């Protein structure tokens, strides 16, 4: 059973490199999240290396680094790892050096392809050795998707930076690269599938380790199905922060590959120890001053103390029940904790 783990020492003292997701972890809507800047500065000053790992393939590492620096988190381009870089490496390992690659994406993807000695082109008639799709923002045209579909239907190898269906923005949710990939998939009558590089797939984790040289990395993210699952795929520890898309209810209901090693409200969790829940009886788990169990088809929480400790106990009880095939509702227990 995947389960939350305890650490008496602060996480930035235990792990040598933080592999940080960006949106929902460091910033939201382009603005720094509360406590993010101060927490990252403290971790870096204490000797932890920071690396920013994003599925967004549209922006170049230079652009991302400039954005972080402007927010107050000094970052260099070589501290940014993107799904564009991961997919460009995959393509370069599959085609001859200098090959033409039909690039259905933004500047970040084109730069990553050139970094690998490949030549981005825009037409299926230019003899591409591969097709690669990455998020291109509102400038990605229907014509470019048509060119990608034409090439894929001709049998050209097909790659995708990621399959994220949506992208959060300041005005709401918009289609992500996964939606663009689906357009091409429909045009092939669902007879072709791309090779995917981004989180949670192994190529993204490999790219992060190759570029950072991390020996004991900690993945930090806000999404269970990309960040945390990616950590499981890479067999490394993870910290889920509740400052982004995942809420407490989703965490309690997480299946095994979506369960983090640690949980915190935000990046302040990087600077503190984490009490681990303990089994205190048959189906009973404790953390801090809380005790959680399953009774009458629902989770029950008793005691008092820090709400985050109560959430840890609830997760332990819920996950043990789920692994035993016992359904357990969590709404009332989470309401008791104020989540």
133's CB contacts (< 8 A; 6+ apart) are 104, 105, 148, 158, 159, 160, 161, 177, 180, 181, 184, 194
Kindly state the helix (H) or strand (E) to which residue 167 belongs, with its residue range.
strand 166-169
Question: What would the two tokens of residue 176 be?
Answer: 């992500």
66 is catalytic: no
Q: What angle do CA 307, 308, 314 make, to 5 degrees?
A: 90
Catalytic position from the list 16, 23, 237, 309: 23
- Which residues make Cβ contacts (< 8 Å) with residue 146, sequence separation at least 6? 187
Is 45 annotated in the active site?
Answer: no
Find the catalytic residue in 21, 227, 237, 309: 21
Helices 83-92 and 107-115, packing angle to 10 deg: 40
Cis peptide bond prior to 323, omega within 30° of 0: no
Residue 261 burial (CB count, 10 A): 23
Q: What SS3 state is found at 216? A: coil
Active site residues: 21, 23
């Amino acid at each position: 059973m995947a389960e939350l783990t305890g650490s008496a020492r602060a996480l930035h003292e235990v792990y040598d490199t933080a592999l940080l997701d960006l949106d929902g972890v460091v910033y939201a809507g382009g603005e720094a999240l509360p406590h993010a800047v101060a927490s990252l500065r403290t971790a870096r000053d204490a000797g932890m290396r920071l690396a920013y790992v994003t599925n967004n393939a549209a922006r170049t590492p230079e652009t991302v680094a400039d954005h972080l620096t402007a927010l107050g988190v000094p970052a260099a381009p070589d501290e940014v790892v993107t799904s564009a870089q991961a997919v460009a490496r995959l393509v370069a390992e599959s085609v001859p050096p200098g090959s033409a690659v039909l690039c259905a994406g933004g500047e970040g993807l084109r730069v990553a392809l050139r970094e690998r000695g490949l030549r981005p082109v825009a037409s299926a008639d230019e003899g591409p050795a591969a097709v690669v799709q990455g998020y291109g923002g509102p400038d990605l045209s229907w014509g470019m998707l048509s060119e990608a579909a034409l090439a894929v239907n001709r049998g050209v190898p097909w790659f995708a930076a990621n399959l994220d269906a949506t992208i959060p923005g300041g005005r709401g949710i918009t289609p992500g690269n996964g939606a663009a990939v689906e357009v091409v998939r429909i045009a092939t009558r669902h007879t072709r599938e791309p090779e995917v590089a981004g989180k949670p797939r192994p190529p993204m984790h490999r790219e992060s380790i190759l570029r950072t040289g991390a020996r004991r990395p900690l993945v930090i993210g806000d999404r269970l199905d990309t960040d945390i699952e990616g950590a499981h795929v890479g067999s490394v520890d993870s910290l889920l922060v509740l400052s982004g898309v995942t809420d407490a209810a989703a965490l309690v209901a997480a299946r095994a590959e979506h369960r983090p090693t640690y949980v915190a409200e935000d990046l302040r969790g990087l600077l503190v120890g984490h009490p681990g829940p303990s089994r205190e009886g048959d189906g009973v788990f404790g953390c801090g001053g809380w005790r959680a169990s399953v009774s009458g088809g629902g989770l029950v929480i008793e005691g008092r103390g820090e709400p985050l400790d109560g959430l840890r106990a609830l997760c332990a009880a819920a996950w043990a029940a789920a692994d035993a095939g016992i359904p357990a509702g969590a709404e009332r227990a989470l309401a008791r904790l104020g989540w």
